[in-house]
């Protein structure tokens, strides 16, 4: 020992041993500190979540109380306002208006005339009221709104509904900050939430439940440095920081609300509408490129949704443009020329039901997004609405629609089965072969067929086309490759039939606009078999006028089951990609 004590080698060994021990201690303590830090962070997140949940529950209770008392009040208030507008226009209780002396008209201040409101009033009795209002416009002081042909008149909603749109919701209003595409989606950035302005009071009128689509799918990777929370179904929760999974919890956790939990009262809504009307009277109107697009699916209720949204004062529809499908090469000026004239604070949208399935369209929309971002110097995010529905019903509806649209009479029972029969049998066989050859990868193989426009997707065969259009997961994948999931809202179109109010509420939430239309605004029409729009507290129905009466749907049991089996794997795949419950698509015309 004594000799070892003086040996240099021994000294070095002892020293190195000590250093190693110290290093281990140091690393251990660093790891402990890091673990504590992560635990603190996680607890903070959980606390914050609990707070949000409590706020959300409070908001829900308050909202319910307000809603219970507001329906009739809202109706009265809106009627009062209508009367005020009518009196400004010289219209008394819907009776043909008394002639207005030119001198009197001249004397009136120009802003008293609101062309958009006038359009709504005219829509109720176009023949008697339009000439009078035209006279008034001609006699009025040269208010700028009349300098050019007032677009609001062209856009009068008469063709949309059998009756005029409810004046209550008419106008043309929208809070300037209603749509903030460039804002980061707060749902994905929980650690930024406590202080983020996105949570400051300013959001939708009624606290809304965060859409499940906004949740991150299991396995999502967040940008380095971000902390996120995702739900897979109802139970699996994970929290990630950068690339590192911190913890997987197995208890429900509430997603961060992206709304102001304080609900607005009817008075606040009314004041908001009045203010918008006034403000917009002084604002110039121009054409704006769309902020969101209804991309399909054909025959899943795209028209109904588009028309219901058109009632919202903060939205303006350009109808169907087919721009990204047919006219992309004509450029953005052409696209803009298809848009309605609106003030800056209104969101424009268009719907083209076949966008969803054309492989070139997502890429073009992304290109469009880059162009508008570049032009404005701000990162813009276009939003897309994808309405899916029972694919069996959809295929039949597509067939019936094309038949009656081609001027044919309503097809007899069995015609659909005969039309698709041979080709569909072949598709069933091909599907079985793909599954046998590719196993778990069957979806990828069909996706490749789609990207390369092979087989069912070469779009020269109308039968496979009609069927494969219901393979929604294939098309959705393409959109997801081009856009962040938060930019896409997937709606179950069968709900457009059973509960359109819920769908419109969900859509307003997705668009981050005030919740003005809800379940109270829909009333079932037995004869049509569809819900129609109605004003709050009113029984009048405003139904959607179809181009054709919906033909009767009949389908043999055998074909129904075969089609269901063909579509079901795609439907399940879509549900799993969206981290939601399976779709309840088991339509049966006999029930
Ligand atoms: N409220 C309401 N009123 C009328 N129609 C409604 C409504 N909600 C959903 N639907 C369903 O919409 C189907 C037509 O879908 P689209 O508008 O997407 O068709 S199209 O692609 O624009 O031709 C249409 O299909 P058919 O039933 O075959 O006519 C309806 O099922």
Residues 162-220: tens digit of each pLDDT: 222 322 222 222 332 222 233 333 333 233 222 222 222 222 322 233 333 334 444 44
Whether residue 295 has its Cβ less than 6 Å from ligand 1 = no
What's the pLDDT score for residue 506? 92
What's the pLDDT score for residue 39? 82
DSSP 304: H
What's the pLDDT score for residue 68? 54
What's the pLDDT score for residue 536? 64
What's the pLDDT score for residue 123? 55
Residues 50-76: tens digit of each pLDDT: 777 777 777 777 766 655 555 555 555
Domains of the chain: 90-156 (no CATH), 284-577 (3.40.50.300)
> Annotated binding residues, as ranges?
397, 531
Q: Assign 234 to helix, strand or coil.
A: coil
582 phi/psi in degrees, rounded to 5: -60, 150
Whether residue 531 has its Cβ less than 6 Å from ligand 1 = yes
Distances (CA, A) of 191 to 80, 227, 463: 46, 6, 51
Q: Which segments of 285-389 does DSSP mark as H helices, in order?
A: 302-310, 331-337, 360-376
Looking up tokens 């089996």 gives: 565
DSSP 249: E
Q: Ligand 1: which atom is nearest the Cα of residue 548?
A: 29
What's the pLDDT score for residue 290? 98
What's the pLDDT score for residue 77? 53
Q: Any idea which residues carry the catalytic annotation?
A: 299
Parts of the chain with a pLDDT under 70: 1-6, 63-269, 536-538, 545-549
Whether residue 397 has its Cβ less than 6 Å from ligand 1 = yes
How many Cα atoms occupy the beta-carbon half-sphere of 200 within 13 Å? Answer: 5
**CA 303 to ligand 1 centroid distance, Å:** 6
What's the pLDDT score for residue 11? 86
Q: Ligand 1: which atom is nearest the Cα of residue 546?
A: 4
**CA 487 to ligand 1 centroid distance, Å:** 24
Sheet of strand 315-317, all strands in order from the earlier edge strand to the far edge: 315-317, 347-351, 292-296, 383-388, 488-492
What's the pLDDT score for residue 514? 86
d(CA 316, CA 587): 33
What's the pLDDT score for residue 209? 30
Looking up tokens 């393979």 gives: 471
What's the pLDDT score for residue 151? 29
d(CA 347, CA 175): 10
How many Cα atoms occupy the beta-carbon half-sphere of 5 within 13 Å? Answer: 2
- For residues 256 and 52, is the Cβ–Cβ distance under 8 A? yes
Q: Ligand 1: which atom is nearest the Cα of residue 393?
A: 28
State the maximum Cα–Cα separation within the chain, in Å, rounded to a whole number: 124
What's the pLDDT score for residue 552? 83
What's the pLDDT score for residue 542? 81
What's the pLDDT score for residue 41? 79
- For residues 306 and 294, is the Cβ–Cβ distance under 8 A? yes
Atom 28 of ligand 1, nearest CA residue: 397
d(CA 444, CA 120): 51
In DSSP notation, 170-199 reads -S----TTS--TTS--GGG-GGGGGG-GGG
């Amino acid at each position: 020992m004594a000799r070892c004590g003086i040996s240099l080698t021994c000294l070095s060994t002892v020293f190195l041993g000590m250093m190693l021990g110290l290093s281990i201690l140091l690393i251990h303590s660093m790891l402990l500190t890091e673990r504590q830090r992560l635990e603190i962070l996680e607890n903070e997140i959980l606390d914050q979540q609990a707070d949000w949940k409590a706020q959300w529950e409070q908001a829900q209770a308050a909202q319910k109380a307000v809603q219970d008392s507001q329906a009739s009040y809202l109706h009265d208030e809106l009627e009062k306002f209508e009367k005020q507008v009518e009196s400004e226009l010289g219209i008394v209780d819907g009776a043909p208006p008394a002639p207005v002396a030119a001198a009197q008209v001249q004397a009136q201040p120009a802003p008293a005339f609101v062309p958009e409101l006038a359009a709504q009033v005219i829509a109720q009795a176009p023949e008697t009221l339009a000439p009078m209002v035209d006279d008034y416009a001609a006699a009025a002081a040269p208010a700028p709104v009349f300098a050019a042909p007032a677009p609001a008149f062209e856009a009068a909603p008469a063709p949309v509904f059998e009756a005029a749109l409810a004046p209550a919701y008419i106008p043309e209003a929208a809070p300037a900050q209603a749509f903030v595409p460039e804002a980061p989606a707060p749902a994905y950035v929980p650690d930024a939430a406590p202080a983020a302005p996105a949570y400051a009071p300013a959001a939708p009128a009624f606290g809304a439940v965060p859409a499940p689509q906004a949740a991150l799918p299991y396995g999502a990777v967040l940008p380095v440095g971000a902390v996120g929370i995702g739900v897979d179904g109802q139970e699996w929760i994970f929290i990630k920081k950068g690339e590192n999974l911190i913890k997987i919890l197995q208890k429900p956790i509430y997603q961060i609300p992206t709304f102001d939990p304080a609900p607005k009262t009817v008075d606040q809504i009314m004041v908001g509408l009045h203010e918008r009307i006034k403000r917009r009277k002084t604002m110039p109107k121009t054409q704006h490129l769309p902020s969101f697009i209804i991309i399909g699916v054909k025959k899943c209720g795209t028209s109904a949704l588009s028309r219901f949204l058109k009632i919202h004062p903060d939205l303006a529809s350009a109808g169907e443009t087919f721009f990204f499908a047919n006219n992309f090469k004509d450029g953005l000026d052409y696209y803009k020329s298809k848009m309605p004239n609106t003030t800056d604070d209104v969101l424009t949208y268009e719907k083209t039901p076949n966008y969803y399935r054309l492989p070139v369209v997502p890429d073009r929309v992304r290109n469009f997004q880059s162009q508008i971002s570049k032009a404005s110097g701000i990162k813009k995010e276009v939003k897309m609405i994808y309405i899916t529905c029972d694919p069996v019903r959809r295929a039949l509806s597509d067939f019936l629609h094309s038949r009656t649209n081609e001027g044919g009479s309503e097809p007899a029972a069995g015609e659909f089965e005969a039309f698709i029969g041979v080709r569909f049998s072949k598709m069933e066989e091909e599907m079985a072969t793909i599954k046998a050859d590719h196993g778990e990868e069957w979806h990828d193989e069909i996706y490749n067929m789609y990207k390369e426009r092979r087989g069912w997707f070469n779009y020269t065969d109308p039968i496979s086309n009609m069927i494969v259009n219901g393979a929604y997961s294939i098309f959705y994948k393409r959109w997801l490759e081009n856009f962040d999931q938060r930019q896409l809202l997937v709606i179950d179109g069968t709900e457009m039939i059973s509960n359109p109010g819920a769908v419109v509420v969900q859509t307003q939430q997705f668009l981050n606009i005030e919740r003005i239309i809800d379940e109270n605004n829909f009333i079932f029409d037995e004869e049509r078999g569809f819900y129609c729009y109605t004003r709050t507290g009113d029984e009048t129905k405003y139904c959607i006028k179809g181009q054709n009466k919906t033909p009767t749907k009949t389908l043999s049991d055998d074909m129904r089951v075969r089609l269901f089996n063909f579509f079901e794997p795609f439907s399940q795949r879509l549900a799993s990609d969206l981290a939601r419950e399976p779709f309840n698509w088991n339509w049966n015309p006999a029930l």
